[in-house]
Structure 1
Amino acid sequence: MKKLVLIACISLISFAAAAQAKISFKTDTVDYGNIAKGSDGVRVFEFTNTGNAPLIITDVKSSCGCTVPKKPDGPVAPGASSSIEVKYDTNRVGPIRKTITVYSNADEPIKALKIKGEVLEEGKSVLEKTG
Protein backbone atom coordinates (compact mmCIF):
# COMPACT_ATOMS: atom_id res chain seq x y z
CA MET A 1 0.00 0.00 0.00
CA LYS A 2 2.82 2.44 0.87
CA LYS A 3 4.47 1.73 -2.48
CA LEU A 4 1.22 2.45 -4.30
CA VAL A 5 0.81 5.80 -2.51
CA LEU A 6 4.46 6.67 -3.23
CA ILE A 7 4.06 5.84 -6.94
CA ALA A 8 0.85 7.92 -7.10
CA CYS A 9 2.59 10.90 -5.46
CA ILE A 10 5.60 10.68 -7.79
CA SER A 11 3.31 10.43 -10.82
CA LEU A 12 1.32 13.47 -9.71
CA ILE A 13 4.47 15.52 -9.11
CA SER A 14 5.91 14.48 -12.48
CA PHE A 15 2.70 15.46 -14.24
CA ALA A 16 2.54 18.80 -12.44
CA ALA A 17 6.17 19.52 -13.34
CA ALA A 18 5.49 18.76 -17.01
CA ALA A 19 2.41 20.99 -17.15
CA GLN A 20 3.57 24.54 -17.80
CA ALA A 21 1.92 27.74 -18.93
CA LYS A 22 3.76 29.68 -21.62
CA ILE A 23 2.99 33.25 -22.66
CA SER A 24 3.67 34.30 -26.26
CA PHE A 25 3.08 37.96 -27.16
CA LYS A 26 2.37 39.07 -30.75
CA THR A 27 4.83 41.88 -30.04
CA ASP A 28 6.67 43.01 -26.94
CA THR A 29 6.78 46.67 -28.07
CA VAL A 30 3.89 48.96 -28.98
CA ASP A 31 4.84 52.06 -30.95
CA TYR A 32 2.40 54.94 -30.55
CA GLY A 33 4.27 56.89 -33.22
CA ASN A 34 3.69 60.66 -33.16
CA ILE A 35 0.32 61.37 -31.56
CA ALA A 36 -1.49 64.57 -30.65
CA LYS A 37 -1.82 65.75 -27.08
CA GLY A 38 -5.07 64.49 -25.56
CA SER A 39 -5.58 61.73 -28.13
CA ASP A 40 -6.56 58.14 -27.29
CA GLY A 41 -3.76 56.61 -25.24
CA VAL A 42 -5.14 53.06 -25.05
CA ARG A 43 -3.13 50.30 -26.71
CA VAL A 44 -3.25 46.50 -26.38
CA PHE A 45 -0.64 43.77 -26.05
CA GLU A 46 -2.15 40.54 -27.42
CA PHE A 47 -0.86 37.17 -26.24
CA THR A 48 -1.58 33.44 -26.40
CA ASN A 49 -1.02 30.74 -23.80
CA THR A 50 1.07 28.30 -25.86
CA GLY A 51 1.69 26.04 -22.87
CA ASN A 52 -0.27 23.07 -21.60
CA ALA A 53 -1.49 24.52 -18.28
CA PRO A 54 -3.72 27.50 -17.43
CA LEU A 55 -1.86 30.83 -17.50
CA ILE A 56 -2.45 33.09 -14.52
CA ILE A 57 -1.29 36.70 -14.75
CA THR A 58 -0.83 37.71 -11.14
CA ASP A 59 0.16 41.35 -11.66
CA VAL A 60 0.99 43.96 -14.31
CA LYS A 61 2.98 47.04 -13.29
CA SER A 62 4.14 50.15 -15.08
CA SER A 63 7.42 52.03 -14.72
CA CYS A 64 5.49 55.24 -13.93
CA GLY A 65 2.09 56.55 -12.94
CA CYS A 66 1.42 58.01 -16.40
CA THR A 67 0.83 54.50 -17.76
CA VAL A 68 -1.98 52.35 -16.41
CA PRO A 69 -1.97 48.65 -17.40
CA LYS A 70 -4.96 46.34 -17.00
CA LYS A 71 -4.50 42.58 -16.70
CA PRO A 72 -7.01 40.01 -17.91
CA ASP A 73 -9.58 38.65 -15.46
CA GLY A 74 -9.08 35.00 -14.57
CA PRO A 75 -6.82 32.31 -16.01
CA VAL A 76 -6.13 31.92 -19.74
CA ALA A 77 -6.62 28.32 -20.89
CA PRO A 78 -3.96 26.51 -22.95
CA GLY A 79 -4.30 27.60 -26.59
CA ALA A 80 -6.49 30.59 -25.68
CA SER A 81 -5.64 34.24 -26.32
CA SER A 82 -6.16 37.36 -24.27
CA SER A 83 -4.72 40.85 -23.94
CA ILE A 84 -3.21 43.38 -21.60
CA GLU A 85 -4.59 46.89 -22.04
CA VAL A 86 -2.27 49.85 -21.48
CA LYS A 87 -3.47 53.45 -21.17
CA TYR A 88 -0.88 56.22 -21.48
CA ASP A 89 -1.66 59.77 -20.31
CA THR A 90 -1.43 61.64 -23.62
CA ASN A 91 -1.74 65.02 -21.89
CA ARG A 92 2.00 64.75 -21.21
CA VAL A 93 3.87 66.25 -24.18
CA GLY A 94 7.17 64.64 -25.14
CA PRO A 95 8.72 61.25 -25.81
CA ILE A 96 7.14 58.04 -24.52
CA ARG A 97 9.55 55.36 -23.28
CA LYS A 98 7.88 53.16 -20.65
CA THR A 99 8.13 49.57 -19.45
CA ILE A 100 5.22 47.37 -18.42
CA THR A 101 6.21 44.33 -16.33
CA VAL A 102 4.01 41.23 -16.44
CA TYR A 103 4.11 38.70 -13.58
CA SER A 104 2.65 35.23 -14.20
CA ASN A 105 2.98 31.51 -13.63
CA ALA A 106 4.48 31.05 -17.12
CA ASP A 107 7.81 29.38 -17.81
CA GLU A 108 9.17 32.95 -18.03
CA PRO A 109 7.49 34.37 -14.88
CA ILE A 110 8.53 38.01 -15.43
CA LYS A 111 8.16 39.58 -18.87
CA ALA A 112 8.99 43.19 -19.79
CA LEU A 113 6.91 44.95 -22.44
CA LYS A 114 7.66 48.40 -23.88
CA ILE A 115 5.69 51.33 -25.20
CA LYS A 116 7.27 54.12 -27.18
CA GLY A 117 6.34 57.13 -29.26
CA GLU A 118 5.95 60.86 -28.85
CA VAL A 119 3.09 63.12 -27.80
CA LEU A 120 3.14 66.36 -29.80
CA GLU A 121 1.87 69.74 -28.61
CA GLU A 122 -1.59 70.81 -29.70
CA GLY A 123 -1.55 72.44 -33.10
CA LYS A 124 1.79 70.89 -34.12
CA SER A 125 1.93 68.37 -36.92
CA VAL A 126 4.51 65.71 -37.51
CA LEU A 127 6.08 67.97 -40.18
CA GLU A 128 6.42 70.87 -37.72
CA LYS A 129 8.06 68.68 -35.08
CA THR A 130 11.43 70.01 -34.02
CA GLY A 131 14.17 68.27 -32.28
Structure 2
Amino acid sequence: MKILKISVIALMLAVIPASASVLNVSKIIENVADVVISWKAETIDVGQIPQGTPKTIPFEFKNTTSKPVLITAVRAACGCTATDYSKESIAPGKTGYVNAIYNAAGVGAFTKTVTVTTSDSDSSKQLTFKGTVVAK
Protein backbone atom coordinates (compact mmCIF):
# COMPACT_ATOMS: atom_id res chain seq x y z
CA MET A 1 0.00 0.00 0.00
CA LYS A 2 2.86 2.37 0.85
CA ILE A 3 4.44 1.72 -2.55
CA LEU A 4 1.14 2.57 -4.28
CA LYS A 5 0.87 5.91 -2.44
CA ILE A 6 4.45 6.81 -3.28
CA SER A 7 3.86 5.86 -6.92
CA VAL A 8 0.72 8.03 -7.14
CA ILE A 9 2.53 11.02 -5.58
CA ALA A 10 5.49 10.59 -7.94
CA LEU A 11 3.15 10.42 -10.92
CA MET A 12 1.35 13.59 -9.82
CA LEU A 13 4.62 15.44 -9.37
CA ALA A 14 5.69 14.39 -12.85
CA VAL A 15 2.41 15.39 -14.53
CA ILE A 16 1.80 18.78 -12.87
CA PRO A 17 4.91 20.56 -14.28
CA ALA A 18 4.30 19.08 -17.74
CA SER A 19 0.71 20.32 -17.86
CA ALA A 20 1.78 23.75 -16.59
CA SER A 21 4.30 24.00 -19.44
CA VAL A 22 1.63 23.11 -22.01
CA LEU A 23 -0.69 25.77 -20.58
CA ASN A 24 2.05 28.44 -20.71
CA VAL A 25 2.95 27.57 -24.31
CA SER A 26 -0.73 27.75 -25.29
CA LYS A 27 -1.04 31.19 -23.68
CA ILE A 28 2.08 32.45 -25.49
CA ILE A 29 0.73 31.19 -28.82
CA GLU A 30 -2.59 32.96 -28.20
CA ASN A 31 -0.78 36.21 -27.37
CA VAL A 32 1.39 36.03 -30.48
CA ALA A 33 -1.66 35.32 -32.65
CA ASP A 34 -3.37 38.42 -31.22
CA VAL A 35 -0.52 40.69 -32.36
CA VAL A 36 -1.70 41.69 -35.78
CA ILE A 37 -0.87 45.33 -35.97
CA SER A 38 1.66 46.99 -33.75
CA TRP A 39 0.65 50.47 -32.58
CA LYS A 40 3.37 53.08 -32.15
CA ALA A 41 1.34 54.41 -29.18
CA GLU A 42 -2.07 53.43 -27.82
CA THR A 43 -2.31 56.49 -25.55
CA ILE A 44 -1.19 59.99 -26.52
CA ASP A 45 -0.98 63.02 -24.25
CA VAL A 46 -1.42 66.11 -26.44
CA GLY A 47 -0.67 68.52 -23.59
CA GLN A 48 -2.33 71.93 -23.77
CA ILE A 49 -4.29 72.99 -26.83
CA PRO A 50 -6.04 76.31 -27.47
CA GLN A 51 -9.83 76.46 -27.22
CA GLY A 52 -11.68 76.55 -30.54
CA THR A 53 -8.79 75.07 -32.53
CA PRO A 54 -9.29 71.51 -33.80
CA LYS A 55 -6.37 69.21 -32.96
CA THR A 56 -5.38 66.18 -35.05
CA ILE A 57 -3.95 63.29 -33.04
CA PRO A 58 -2.15 60.74 -35.26
CA PHE A 59 -2.05 57.07 -34.21
CA GLU A 60 0.37 55.07 -36.38
CA PHE A 61 0.57 51.29 -36.71
CA LYS A 62 2.56 48.65 -38.56
CA ASN A 63 1.14 45.43 -40.01
CA THR A 64 3.31 42.77 -38.36
CA THR A 65 1.52 39.81 -39.96
CA SER A 66 2.11 37.95 -43.20
CA LYS A 67 -1.22 39.01 -44.73
CA PRO A 68 -2.84 42.33 -45.67
CA VAL A 69 -4.98 43.99 -43.00
CA LEU A 70 -7.91 46.35 -43.59
CA ILE A 71 -9.40 48.74 -41.05
CA THR A 72 -13.10 47.90 -41.10
CA ALA A 73 -14.43 50.39 -38.54
CA VAL A 74 -13.31 53.40 -36.52
CA ARG A 75 -15.67 54.84 -33.90
CA ALA A 76 -15.10 57.94 -31.78
CA ALA A 77 -16.62 57.82 -28.30
CA CYS A 78 -18.25 61.22 -28.65
CA GLY A 79 -19.41 63.78 -31.21
CA CYS A 80 -16.52 66.10 -30.36
CA THR A 81 -14.10 63.82 -32.21
CA ALA A 82 -13.99 63.08 -35.94
CA THR A 83 -11.82 60.35 -37.46
CA ASP A 84 -9.80 59.65 -40.57
CA TYR A 85 -7.89 56.44 -41.28
CA SER A 86 -6.10 54.34 -43.89
CA LYS A 87 -8.85 53.17 -46.26
CA GLU A 88 -6.68 50.81 -48.31
CA SER A 89 -5.49 47.40 -47.25
CA ILE A 90 -2.19 47.58 -45.35
CA ALA A 91 0.38 45.13 -46.75
CA PRO A 92 2.61 43.09 -44.43
CA GLY A 93 5.42 45.23 -43.03
CA LYS A 94 3.76 48.48 -44.12
CA THR A 95 2.32 51.24 -41.94
CA GLY A 96 -1.10 52.82 -41.67
CA TYR A 97 -2.81 55.46 -39.56
CA VAL A 98 -5.87 56.44 -37.60
CA ASN A 99 -6.30 60.16 -36.99
CA ALA A 100 -8.56 61.52 -34.28
CA ILE A 101 -9.57 65.15 -34.89
CA TYR A 102 -10.65 66.67 -31.60
CA ASN A 103 -12.86 69.78 -31.55
CA ALA A 104 -11.45 71.65 -28.57
CA ALA A 105 -14.64 73.56 -27.74
CA GLY A 106 -14.78 73.28 -23.95
CA VAL A 107 -12.05 74.50 -21.59
CA GLY A 108 -10.54 71.95 -19.21
CA ALA A 109 -8.96 68.51 -19.04
CA PHE A 110 -10.21 65.78 -21.37
CA THR A 111 -9.69 62.09 -22.08
CA LYS A 112 -11.23 60.66 -25.26
CA THR A 113 -11.20 57.30 -27.01
CA VAL A 114 -11.39 55.94 -30.54
CA THR A 115 -12.20 52.26 -31.15
CA VAL A 116 -10.60 50.53 -34.15
CA THR A 117 -11.65 47.20 -35.70
CA THR A 118 -9.62 45.42 -38.38
CA SER A 119 -10.40 42.67 -40.90
CA ASP A 120 -8.26 40.08 -39.17
CA SER A 121 -10.11 39.97 -35.86
CA ASP A 122 -13.51 40.44 -34.27
CA SER A 123 -11.89 42.16 -31.31
CA SER A 124 -11.21 45.88 -31.39
CA LYS A 125 -8.47 48.15 -30.10
CA GLN A 126 -9.23 51.22 -28.02
CA LEU A 127 -6.93 54.20 -28.57
CA THR A 128 -6.87 57.04 -26.05
CA PHE A 129 -5.82 60.67 -26.20
CA LYS A 130 -5.85 63.23 -23.44
CA GLY A 131 -4.85 66.78 -22.68
CA THR A 132 -6.14 70.14 -21.51
CA VAL A 133 -8.01 72.76 -23.51
CA VAL A 134 -6.95 76.28 -22.45
CA ALA A 135 -8.84 79.52 -23.13
CA LYS A 136 -7.39 81.74 -25.85
**TM-score higher than 0.5 here?**
yes
Deviations 1:46-97 (A, max 9, x none): 1000011111100100110001111211110000001111100012222221
Partner of 2:73: 59
Answer yes or no: is 1:42 the counterpart of 2:25.
no
User: How far did 1:109 drift?
Assistant: 3.2
SS of 2:133's equivalent in the other structure is strand
1:27 aligns with 2:41: yes
Letter in 2 for 1:62: A
Q: Mark the CA change 1:36 to 1:99 in structure 2 (over 3 Å): closer, same or farther.
A: same
Alignment RMSD, CA only? Answer: 2.0
Q: Give the 3-state SS of the residue equivalent to 1:51 in structure 2.
A: coil
Aligned residue type for 1:85: N
1:97 to 111, 115, 129: 111
Partner of residue 85, structure 1: 99
Partner of 2:85: 71
Contact 2:115-2:125 at 8 Å conserved across structures = yes
Structure 1, unaligned runs of 5 or more = 1-18, 123-131
Residue identity (%): 36
What is the alpha-carbon distance in structure 1 between the residues aligned to residue 77 and residue 119 of structure 2?
Answer: 21
Largest Rg, 1 or 2: 2
Structure with more of its chain in helix, by fraction: 2
Structure 1 segments, 4+ long, off by >4 Å, are none
CA contact (8 A) 1:23 1:48 kept: yes
Query: What TM-score do the two structures reach when normalised by structure 2?
Result: 0.70
Q: State the TM-score, normalized to the length of structure 1.
A: 0.72
Could you list the runs of 5+ residues in structure 2 that have no partner in the other structure?
1-32
